[in-house]
């Protein structure tokens, strides 16, 4: 039994050593097709042309740097499949960096130094426990809420309360006194 035999995975890491290290881990999982890119242009070409089941992307830049790969997949309109899970590999553990990744639509984050256990668990979660994919005006990516509420009480949000002016506008009426 092989979990990943029919999966196609892309690794984008400009650092040759780290890219090869990640490749040595993922190849042990019996992945069907594994592509490793060192250059952004090369990665971009593959992301545009081929539908991957998951993309690993290193973020070794700094807080002000753009997560170009993640942006490209989610928001450029150029990627073959904008819903592809994107796993960011990063040592930038500051809260604002993690939130930035999340808000740009990353699926999982694997912190450096990487280990086979973390890579397996995040890859498995991304492929076999996917979260609902959300497309909004200001966000494209997996649902950022991991925990589904287990609230048994009355859901007040299910009923929208309108103010008088909202009701008036909806009914198209005029104020009685005007």
Span of 12-20, 46-54, 100-108, 163-171 interacting with other proteins by CB under 8 A: 12-20
Q: Which is nearer to other proteins, 69 or 89 (CB)?
A: 89
Please state the closest distance from residue 105 (CB atom) to other proteins, in A.
24
Is 147:112 a contact under the CB 8 Å cutoff? no
Q: What are the backbone dihedrals phi and psi of residue 14, each rounded to the nearest 5 degrees, phi first? A: -70, -20
**Among positions 113, 163, 172, 173, the unique one binding other proteins when judged by CB under 8 A:** 113
Q: Are 93 and 111 in contact (CB under 8 A)?
A: yes
Q: Which residues contact 133 (CB under 8 A, 6 or more apart)?
A: 83, 141, 142, 143
Q: Does 60 bind other proteins (CB under 8 A)?
A: yes
Among the listed residues 24, 76, 78, 80, the single contact to other proteins using CB under 8 A: 24
Place of tokens 């949000």: 157
**CB of residue 73 vs other proteins: minimum separation in angstroms?**
22
Q: Specify the residue, 22 or 79, whose C-beta has the smaller distance to other proteins.
A: 22
By rule CB under 8 A, what count of residues binds other proteins?
Answer: 26
Q: Is 119 in the site for other proteins (CB under 8 A)?
A: yes
Q: To which residue do tokens 């103010």 refer?
A: 163
Residue closer to other proteins, measured from CB, 36 or 79: 36
Q: Which residues contact 79 (CB under 8 A, 6 or more apart)?
A: 47, 48, 72, 73
* Residue numbers at the binding site for other proteins (CB under 8 A): 1, 3, 15, 17-18, 20-21, 24-30, 60, 62-63, 91, 112-114, 116-117, 119-120, 124
């Amino acid at each position: 039994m092989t979990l990943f035999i029919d999966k196609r995975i892309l690794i984008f890491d400009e650092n040759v050593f780290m890219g090869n290290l990640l490749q040595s881990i993922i190849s042990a999982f019996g992945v069907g097709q594994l592509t490793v890119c060192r250059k952004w242009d090369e990665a971009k070409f593959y992301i545009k042309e081929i539908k991957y089941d998951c993309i690993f992307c290193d973020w070794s830049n700094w807080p002000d740097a753009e997560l170009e790969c993640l942006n490209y997949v989610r928001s450029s309109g150029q990627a073959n499949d904008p819903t592809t899970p994107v796993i960011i590999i990063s040592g930038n553990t500051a809260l604002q960096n993690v939130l930035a990744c999340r808000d740009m639509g990353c699926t999982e984050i694997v912190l450096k130094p990487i280990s086979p256990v973390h890579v397996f668990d995040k890859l498995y979660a991304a492929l076999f426990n996917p979260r609902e994919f959300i497309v909004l005006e200001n966000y494209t990516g997996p649902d950022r809420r991991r925990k589904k509420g287990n609230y048994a009480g009355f859901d007040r949000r299910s009923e929208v309360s309108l103010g008088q002016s909202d009701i008036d506008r909806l009914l198209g009426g005029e104020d009685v006194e005007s």
